[in-house]
Structure 1
Amino acid sequence: MLYIFDLGNVIVDIDFNRVLGVWSDLGRVPLATLQSRFTLGESFQRHERGEISDEDFATQVCDELGLALGFEQFAAGWQAVFVSVRPEVVQLMNRLRARGDRVVILSNTNRLHTEFWPEEFPEVKSAADRIYLSQDMGMRKPEARIYQQVLQEEGVTADQAIFFDDNADNIAAARALGIHSVQVTDANVVPAFFADRV
């Protein structure tokens, strides 16, 4: 069986309010103002597909938010999104691999984050057989083609895969392709799913 895990809020807790908090402090803009302006819009999606550089993305976001930040300041805030690993999920990933299952990560992400989290959380990287990243693939969830490419490269059919993600749109897209999909609404969902399976 192929197990496909999203990264954020599935294996690692993330919180964009932490990002905005750092930017608020560095840019001297009230947090509430940034919260009211911040959206994961077109520039965010293009960045995740690798269509624009980190520097261009930083400029666009700062313009949208009315922030005057240097690139290093922007990056410091952007990395603050990562809170902590969910160790019970990492343990489950390792147990699945130990019994012969294939375990991969499929993440909508960007260059800045992928230069950070593998070093910050090496146990996550070592728990996966392969890591599929949107910015390397030129596509992002919930686009059907990203799931199809993972299945093709892993050499399995949709009914041989189980997918875990916190985003309802991503789950719906995977289900539409016939992939058994589990929406991770809190930290208990993945351990509960495997309670009588591993």
Structure 2
Amino acid sequence: MKIKTIIFDFGDVFINLDKEGAMQNALTLFQLNELPEDLIAINTLYEQGLISSDEFIEFYTDNFPKLSKKDILDAWNFILKDFPEERLTFLKNLKKEQKHKLILLSNTNEIHINWIKEHVSFYEEFKACFDQFYLSHDINLRKPNQDIYQFVLNQNKLKADECLFIDDTKDNTDAAAALGIHIWNIDETKENVIDLFSIKEDLF
């Protein structure tokens, strides 16, 4: 069965992330050894669009009164790095070929997207390559919960076995695979999305 739809994650597929560095930076800033459950919970709520950016920042400034709003924003955006232009070129070529439906499915939030719009000059060009562009905070759903994958399948009338989902987080690809979606759990340390058709040639 040929793949008809390719569903892409955003972070560490297109834009590079520094997850480890961001975590270390946050722990140092907040003077913590590990992130407590209430911080993880608030981050998750925010990523799912269930609280506003103002409420999110207020939570942190209330809990860490020594820190300014700028300190919080800088720490939150620390994870975001460069977006190699070769990946945009790859995506634009994919769109031009019109052989596959292209969907973006990302766990992200308003503050990160605002930073990307400001720092990635071709963000709108990137976004225009997709037939659908789903950000967790817009649709109030979040990976790896299965309802987010079901939402994408239902909204676009897709058959799971005709879809390929690419994500750097194993929990996310495992959840998609459980629904019968083909997956590529990309290892961002040694794989690049531009090599999709050589790495996954058996699917195409």
TM superposition score category, shorter chain reference: 0.7 to 0.9
CA spacing shift, 1:152–1:143, aligned 2, 3 Å = same
Q: 1:129 to 1:152 in 2, by over 3 A?
A: same
Identify the residue that residue 174 of structure 1 maps to in structure 2. Answer: 176
2:52 corresponds in structure 1 to 53
| 2:74 is aligned with 1:76 | yes
Aligned length: 190
Deviates more, 1:42-51 or 1:85-94: 85-94
Q: Any residues of structure 2 matched to 1:42-191 within 5 Å, and which? A: 42-61=41-60, 66=64, 68-100=66-98, 101-121=100-120, 122=123, 123-186=125-188, 188-191=191-194
Shift of 1:172: 0.4
* 1:162-188 deviations in Å (ceiling 9; x for gaps): 111011100000000111011011252
**Superposition TM-score, scaled by structure 2 size:** 0.79
Residue type of the alignment partner of 2:141 = M
**Which residue of structure 2 lines up, in the alignment, with residue 38 of structure 1?**
35
**Residue 3, structure 1, aligned to residue 6, structure 2:** yes
Once residues 135 and 189 of structure 1 are traced to their aligned partners in structure 2, the CA distance between those partners, rounded to angstroms, is: 26
Identity %: 30
Task: Select between 91-100 and 162-171 the one with higher mean Cα deviation.
Answer: 91-100
Checking the alignment, whether the CA contact within 8 Å between 1:19 and 1:79 is kept in structure 2 is: no
Give 1:97 deviation, angstroms: 1.2
CA contact (8 A) 1:161 1:179 kept: yes
Counterpart residue type for residue 168 of structure 1: K
CA–CA distance in structure 2, aligned partners of residues 150 and 87 of structure 1: 27
Structure 1 alignment gaps of length 5 or more: 25-29
RMSD: 2.7
Shift of 1:193: 2.9
What is the CA–CA distance in structure 1 between the aligned matches of 2:150 and 2:84, rounded to whole Å? 27
CA gap of 1:32–1:138, structure 2 versus 1, over 3 A, is: closer
